[in-house]
Amino acid sequence: MNKYCSLAAILLLSACASVTPMSDTHDKINLAQSNIPQNWLLPLPDDLSQISTWQQIYDDPLLNGYLNIALTENYDLRIAQTRLAQSAASLRRAHALLRPRINASTSVSGVALIGSLDNITDSYGIGLSGSWNPDIFGQNRAGVDQSRADLAAQKALTEGTRQSILAQTARAYIRAVEGGLQVRLAKTNLDFLSESRRISEARYRVGDTAKGDFSFAEANYQSALARFENTKQSARAAKRALSILLGDYPSENLDLSEDIGLPKNLPPRALPASVLERRPDVLAARARLVSRAAALRGTQLADWPNVSLNGGLSSSSRFELLFNPADYIARLSASLAGNLFDAGSQDAAISGARAALEGSLLNYEATLRTAMGEISDLYDRADNLRRTLVNLQAASDAANEALRLESIQYDLGESSLLDVLQVQTRVNSIDATLIRTQAALLETTISAFQAIGGL
């Protein structure tokens, strides 16, 4: 009789497996992808870029050293790595649901009548049990697929955080260097105005110039002094921002380059597929799309029966009998449980999962378009800044030559101090703009390189 019952259970499980519902997830994905080129749907690359790629942008030994520090000490990156570890653990847990579980238990108890508490009867128990869900309908496998996609998304997000930290660190370094250059320029201007004020005061005292010229020189000096203090404060703040990105407390004790050079040319704009296979945000959006598809599949399968196989050995008797195999009881069972009525809860869950999938698809398509727009804008801005730098450099050379000639005329008494100060102000404005533009070109090049997933 027992053999027939076991055979009936096996046949029942086989019949259930033959009517496993076909999910429309795969068809929905294919339909949804109709607006996305298939060669854009690329996997996350295993070989992530290294620090050495920065030499393709701007080869500064100090910057490269800070980038290496940021990769190990930056807190945002370390937090992202803990999230990656959590996702990997979730995948291992999902895989574990596909394997059998074995449990062991022990117990001891004493029984006695109230009237004879000194005559306690000891009883010992030991048990070994196991269970296994064969996952006939694929509920657990859908969970594994979802966890695997979530891990892929987290890998992409972690890589995105890594690239973002590198870019932020590089931009902060450039701003700190720019701050130092602006301080030196402001100090040079302040020294010039201080000397002009001294000369103007001396001439005013001997009657060579009017008081208005001296007052004008004093006003320019005081204004330049205020700008100098503000420039120093901005430079200090830039250094502190860099030190925080390096995982340190705010500090101004950082070594910086003495100058800003030109970045190397950006790589030619590649085809969308070759660019987007390196973009972490695109890869993360693609992984989320796969995760939502697996979640929908799992939600659809949740309404189907749950199959479980259970078995065990147990004994409960006197201590000396625990080691007698004949005293053990063996159990073997199979169960099939399913939901008959849930007032529409499952249908609502499926509708929600399908809507989440559609939302992930829209987010994926939007991410693709945003990525391509960002790349185009940054490349265009970098080209424009390079052209602007040529003009600013020419303007700076011409303005400094004009200042030199005006200073000679002033020393010869052929020009007024007002004329010299006007030229000096123009020179300072052009040189300050030149420094800002050099820094902006470097920052834009860094952002553009990040946009194509090259960091």
- The pLDDT tens digits for 314-326 are 666 666 666 666 6
pLDDT at residue 102, as a whole number: 86
Mean pLDDT of the region 379-384: 94
pLDDT at residue 272, as a whole number: 64
Mean pLDDT of the region 371-376: 88
pLDDT at residue 55, as a whole number: 62
**Better-predicted residue by pLDDT, 190 or 320:** 190
Over 80: is that where the pLDDT of 394 sits? yes
Question: Is the residue at 320 inside a domain?
Answer: no
- In order of 125, 260, 389, 392, the CA distances from 431 in angstroms are 88, 13, 11, 8
Most confident residue range from 25-39, 93-107, 228-242: 228-242
Over 80: is that where the pLDDT of 404 sits? yes
Most confident residue range from 12-21, 113-122, 204-213, 370-379: 370-379
- Who contacts 135 (Cβ-Cβ below 8 Å, separation ≥6)? 97, 98, 141, 307
Question: Is the residue at 91 inside a domain?
Answer: yes
Number of structural domains in the chain: 1
DSSP state string for 370-396: HHHHHHHHHHHHHHHHHHHHHHHHHHH
Please give the share of the chain, as a percent, with pLDDT higher than 90: 25
Question: Is the residue at 37 inside a domain?
Answer: yes
**Residue 307 · residue 98 · CB < 8 Å:** no
Question: Is the residue at 5 inside a domain?
Answer: no
pLDDT at residue 3, as a whole number: 44
- Who contacts 304 (Cβ-Cβ below 8 Å, separation ≥6)? 16, 20, 21, 137, 139, 338
Distance (Å, whole) CA 9 – CA 283: 45
Both structure tokens of 344? 């529409």
Question: Is the residue at 79 inside a domain?
Answer: yes
Ranges 52-66, 75-89, 154-168, 352-366: which has the least confidence? 52-66
Count of all residues that appear for the chain in the document: 455
The continuous run of DSSP H or E covering 88 comes out as helix 75-96
Dihedral angle, C-alpha 110, 114, 117, 121, nearest 10 ° = -30
Over 90: is that where the pLDDT of 435 sits? yes
Query: What pLDDT digit, counting tens, does each position of 150-169 carry?
Result: 998 898 899 889 989 999 99
Q: What is the mean pLDDT of the chain?
A: 79
Ranges 189-193, 198-202, 346-350: which has the least confidence? 198-202
pLDDT at residue 60, as a whole number: 87
Question: Is the residue at 327 inside a domain?
Answer: no
Over 80: is that where the pLDDT of 116 sits? no
Distance of CA 411 to the CA centre of its chain: 59
**Helices vs. strands in the chain: H and E counts, helices first:** 10, 4
Question: Is the residue at 315 inside a domain?
Answer: no
pLDDT at residue 115, as a whole number: 66
> In this structure, what DSSP letter does residue 137 have?
T
Residue for token pair 């999938």:
357
Contacts 24+ apart (CB under 8 A), 210-219: 213/416, 213/417, 213/418, 216/417, 216/418, 216/421, 217/193, 217/417, 217/421
* Residue 406: domain span: 25-98+133-303+339-451
**Residue 248 · residue 168 · CB < 8 Å:** no
Distance (Å, whole) CA 330 – CA 334: 14
pLDDT at residue 34, as a whole number: 41
pLDDT at residue 98, as a whole number: 84
What residue type is 288 in one-letter code? R
Over 70: is that where the pLDDT of 234 sits? yes
CATH label of the domain that carries residue 188: 1.20.1600.10
Distance (Å, whole) CA 236 – CA 219: 26
Mean pLDDT of the region 131-135: 81
Residue for token pair 């380059």:
257
- Who contacts 336 (Cβ-Cβ below 8 Å, separation ≥6)? 12, 13, 16, 305, 306, 307
Question: Is the residue at 103 inside a domain?
Answer: no
Query: What pLDDT digit, counting tens, does each position of 290-346 carry?
Result: 888 888 888 888 877 777 878 776 666 666 666 666 666 667 777 677 777 677 887
